[in-house]
Amino acid sequence: MTPHSPDQPPAAPLHPASPGQDPNQDREYWNRVAPEKNFTTPLPLELLQNRLAPQARILDYGCGYGRTLTLLEQSGFTQTLGLDFAPAMLQRGHRQHPHLRLAACAPGRVPLADQSVDAVLLLAVLTCIRHDRDQRSLLNELTRVLRPGGLLLVNDFLLAPDQRNQERYARFAKQFGTYGVFAISGGGVMRHHDPAWLDQLFSGLHPLVRKETPFTTMNGNSAQGVTLLLQRPRIPAQDQSP
């Protein structure tokens, strides 16, 4: 599970940014807030420990400064890799956790070989991707590198029913084109998801666990969260009958 070096062919074509979403602008936001933001979305370790061996190959996509990878290592997992598109997040990770394997990637790209990992973590990453097609593109890449029978663990945010969130969903819907997408102070753009959209997005994977629970956001607010554990379908055995 080693990222391709810069002189190797890319693992997959680079998907163009959707209209109204500038990956460089998003990267600038995460680089700017890297020294001060602390991520708080929970990591349900028991879901992994019950299903994976300590030597399982685990990819944390959108790893930030390596908080989740540190928790995995402390729990006995020995083959982990973090990818992120914000250099300042990775620099913070290297300073705080110099032993971790952290690498840069382009938005929506996973520079790993097909079927090379046993599990992928996607923790509070979809909330940073405002367009449906970019979420689909990323999921295709993550599924590509996941072995048949491998696990995808997702934590993210759902549409919230409270007045504060409903008002900002409505206020920003015209600007961003998707209900649930909104801007936050400092220049970030986030998304809270309709559960029906997540069902559609992950329809090609086998659902194992689904749990809704309140999460605390990186800005200290309470939000409705969802944890999903999904499995890439196994390749069926070939029929050996004559």
Q: In this structure, what CATH number is given to the domain that contains residue 131?
A: 3.40.50.150
Within-domain flag for 81:
yes
In this structure, are residues 152 and 117 in contact, taking their beta carbons and an 8 Å threshold? no
pLDDT band at 238 (very low <50, low <70, confident <90, very high): low
Number of domains in the chain: 1
pLDDT tier at 223, thresholds 50, 70, 90: confident
What percentage of the chain has pLDDT greater than the value 90? Answer: 73
pLDDT, tens only, 180-222:
999 998 889 999 999 999 999 999 999 999 999 988 778 777 7
Q: Which residue has the tokens 């990637």?
A: 105
Task: Give backbone dihedrals phi and psi of 16, rounded to 5 degrees, phi first.
Answer: -65, 150
pTM: 0.86
**What is the number of H-type helices and E-type strands within the chain?**
7, 9
Distance CA 133, CA 78 (A): 34
In a domain, 188, yes or no: no
Torsion angle in degrees (nearest 10) through CA of 168, 171, 175, 181:
20
Predicted confidence at residue 24, as pLDDT, reads 54
In a domain, 216, yes or no: yes
Contacts of 112 (CB under 8 A, 6+ apart): 1, 2, 3, 4, 11, 59, 145
Q: Give residue for tokens 């084109």.
A: 177
Which DSSP string corresponds to 204-241? TSEEEEEEEEEEE-TTS-EEEEEEEEEEPPPPPPPP--
Q: Is 70 helix (H, G, I), strand (E, B) or coil?
A: helix
Kindly list the strands in the beta sheet with 222-231, ordered across the sheet, starting from the edge strand earlier in the chain.
102-104, 79-84, 57-61, 117-123, 146-157, 222-231, 206-216
Query: What radius of gyration do the chain's Cα atoms show?
Result: 18
Q: Is 166 within the bounds of a domain?
A: no
**103 domain residue, yes or no:** yes
Q: What is the mean pLDDT of residues 127-136?
A: 95
Contact 198, 225 (CB under 8 A): no
Give the domain extent around 111.
Answer: 23-157+194-231
Beta strands in the chain (DSSP E): 57-61, 79-84, 102-104, 117-123, 146-157, 181-183, 189-191, 206-216, 222-231
Domain assignment present for 60: yes
**At how many degrees (to 10) do helices 87-96 and 23-33 cross?**
30
Q: What pLDDT score was predicted for residue 35?
A: 82
Residue 240 pLDDT greater than 70, yes or no = no
Taking alpha carbons only, the member of 100, 78, 79, 80 closest to residue 89 is 100
Of 226, 233, 225, give the one whose Cα is nearest residue 207. 233
Q: Which two tokens stand for residue 101?
A: 């394997």
Q: How confident is the model at residue 241 (pLDDT cuts 50, 70, 90)?
A: very low
